[in-house]
Amino acid sequence: MARTEADVGVVGAGVMGLAASLLLVEAGYRVTVVAQHLAGDLTPDWTSPWAGALLAPHPDAGFPDLQENSLKRWHRLRHECRDAGVEERDIYEYYDNRKDLSSIWYKRIYPDLTAIPTEDLVSGAEIGFKYRGLIVDPNAFLPWITRLLKEKGVKFIQRRISSLDELKSITGAATLVNASGLGARELANDEKVHAVRGQTMFVPCDSRNMDRVTIHQGSHYTYAIPRIASGGVILGGVAQPDNYSRDIDPATRDDIMRRVNELTKGKFFWVDHKGAIVKDLVGFRPARTGGIRVEREDRVIHAYGLGALGYVFAFGAAEKVVSLVQEVNRAKL
């Protein structure tokens, strides 16, 4: 294969790799992306298409600056790029492992964030709050950003690589970005990288009039997230570390349906979750013990370990990637 000539070679075409590529191009760099999976591929090993993609900050994930900066970019996309699949909805969050809102740092970026009165909490919740936030439909966003990058001159090569040296050889780039998700366990020799299995259901319905996202965290992880462009709703979920089963677990499906109806006060009793209309989804979130890694190692910029928060972190982490690439270039002078 003839090698391309790029300023930066990126491995990985999930939301992290694509966001980094976009910001690098906007900063004036020539970019080539090498990835085993591209937009349109449907495999559990590539998590971005399967994500619930709720653009809600997380109180315990760390790096609040990256989360906040990323959300600013998502808000821009909503206003400027209707085809990107970003929508605004009311978000209702419930926790059964917190006593108050003191850890909810993102109160400062959502001035309308208000506590839900105790008498209105769902069963088992200790606290709840609501605010106006964002969701994104991966089935709209991933093709959209891929088209945009191609229009901006980014080259895509669909290929599995076994080393960062191979990425350098293919792209001809002196600076590399490792956004390989679970692949970072091999490419970065990082034993902290591991999979967290998710199982959800996509239920076709007219979700345009669904006015809210509902999510419960703590002792269980349950949510109902509209997917407007796809014409349905995602019901979930589970977080199962180091579970690599690709098979649908019927007991998990039953439990998700029970929890979703408890959370939404029966809003989805109409769903025949064992019927042919429901599509079961399994994906493996690219998690990392100790949290995300966005840092420079000589001429390699690592950006992986985002776990279930890939969409939340993507553009904020991408901004840091650009600054680290610029740091590499300054070091050459």
Residue 27 lies in a domain: yes
Residue 296 lies in a domain: yes
What burial class does residue 323 get, using C-beta atoms within 10 Å of its C-beta: 0-12 exposed, 13-18 middle, 19+ buried?
middle
State the binding site for FAD.
47-48
Parent domain of 308: 8-332
State the binding site.
47-48, 223, 285
State the binding site for D-dopa.
223, 285
58-82 b/e (C-beta count within 10 Å ≥ 16 → b):
bbebebbebbebbbebbbebbeeee
What is the domain count for the chain? 1
CA distances to 71, 239, 246 from 195, in Å: 25, 10, 12
Residue 87 lies in a domain: yes
The CATH number for 305's domain is 3.30.9.10
Residue 226 lies in a domain: yes
Query: Which of 330, 13, 318 lies closest to 161, judged by CA?
Result: 13
Residue 281 β-bridge partners:
200
Interatomic CA distance for residues 89 and 112, integer angstroms: 13
* pLDDT at 277 (0 to 100): 83
One digit per residue, the tens of pLDDT, for the chain of length 333 reads 445 567 999 999 999 999 999 999 999 999 999 999 999 888 888 889 888 999 999 999 999 999 999 999 999 999 999 999 999 999 999 999 999 999 999 999 999 999 999 999 999 999 999 999 999 999 999 999 999 999 999 999 999 999 999 999 999 999 999 999 999 999 999 999 999 999 999 999 999 889 999 999 999 999 999 999 999 999 999 999 989 999 999 999 999 999 999 999 999 999 998 887 899 999 999 999 999 999 999 999 999 999 999 999 999 999 999 999 999 988 765
Residue 3 lies in a domain: no
Instruction: State pTM to two decimals.
Output: 0.95
Residue 1 lies in a domain: no
Residue 40 lies in a domain: yes
Q: What is the identity of the amino acid at 134?
A: L
Residue 2 lies in a domain: no
Residues 6+ apart with CB under 8 A from 248: 199, 280, 282
* pLDDT at 2 (0 to 100): 45
Supply 35's token pair. 């990835």
On the CB side of 176, how many CA atoms lie within 13 Å of its CA?
A: 23
